[in-house]
């Protein structure tokens, strides 16, 4: 009788251990999934002192913009941009200074008065070194099967009017159409705006 009770107890204990392990595993999976969702939501909801999202894309307003090593005119100039309308990414804010990153990954500080909320993009700057015959297609409609309006070399600047999360309406040198959002630097994946 004791042997039967001991065996029954062992089976019950093993069954309970199995249920506890399964519950712990399910809880761990749910927790990991919610942490990923929270991290993504936090990244999307991060705001700077200005109340605007960080990071975010903007463009250079002026034809001459000094990129400084710190947030103030007392800091040395590390680079000078000579093209207005160039897309840059604001990654940090301090007072009226913005830390920006360009498509090449160069970072530094500029005064907010030299930045514009207008949107622009660069066609696949990561493909510049791939050689000849590599293009980004500008299409008549926001569909991969739509006719091609223009073939853009990597590095070409585009003015962006709107994005729907997958495609952006863009213009360059008189050509207008839709470009895949994944093939430009200047709009985040899934970002939609008009």
CA-wise closest residue to 150 among 167, 138, 158: 138
Element (H, E) at 10: helix 2-45
**Alpha carbon distance 176, 46 (integer Å):** 33
- What is the reported pLDDT for 2? 54
Q: Answer positive or negative: Cα dihedral of 151, 154, 157, 159.
A: positive
- What is the reported pLDDT for 13? 52
Range of weakest confidence among 8-12, 27-31, 123-127, 132-136: 27-31
- pLDDT > 90? residue 63: yes
- pLDDT > 80? residue 11: no
* Cβ–Cβ under 8 Å, residues 63 and 83: yes
- What is the reported pLDDT for 16? 46
Higher local confidence (pLDDT), 105 or 17: 105
- What is the reported pLDDT for 5? 42
Element (H, E) at 34: helix 2-45
For 26-62, the pLDDT digits (tens) are 333 343 333 333 333 344 558 999 999 999 999 999 9
CA-wise closest residue to 84 among 121, 123, 128, 114: 114
- What is the reported pLDDT for 18? 47
- What is the reported pLDDT for 45? 59
Average pLDDT, rounded, for the chain: 84
* Other Cβ atoms within 10 Å of 95 Cβ, number: 11
Q: What is the mean pLDDT of residues 102-120?
A: 97
For 140-191, the pLDDT digits (tens) are 999 999 999 999 999 999 999 999 999 999 999 989 999 999 999 999 999 9
- pLDDT > 90? residue 72: yes
* Cβ–Cβ under 8 Å, residues 137 and 151: yes
């Amino acid at each position: 009788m004791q042997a039967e009770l001991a065996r029954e107890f062992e089976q019950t204990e093993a069954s309970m251990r199995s249920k506890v392990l399964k519950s712990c595993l399910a809880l761990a999976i749910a927790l990991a999934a919610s942490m990923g969702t929270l991290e993504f939501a936090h990244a999307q909801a991060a705001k700077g002192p200005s109340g605007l999202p960080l990071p975010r894309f903007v463009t250079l307003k002026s034809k001459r913009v000094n990129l400084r090593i710190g947030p103030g005119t007392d800091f040395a100039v590390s680079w000078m941009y000579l093209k207005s309308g160039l897309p840059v990414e604001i990654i940090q804010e301090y007072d009226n200074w913005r830390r920006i990153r360009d498509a090449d990954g160069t970072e530094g500080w500029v005064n907010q008065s030299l930045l514009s909320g207008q949107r622009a993009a660069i066609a696949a700057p990561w493909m510049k070194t791939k050689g000849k015959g590599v293009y980004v297609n500008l299409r008549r409609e926001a569909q991969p099967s739509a006719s091609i309006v223009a073939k853009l070399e990597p590095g070409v600047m585009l003015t962006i009017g709107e994005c729907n999360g997958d495609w952006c309406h863009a213009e360059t040198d008189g050509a207008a159409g839709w470009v895949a959002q994944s093939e430009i630097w200047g709009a985040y994946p899934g970002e939609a705006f008009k």
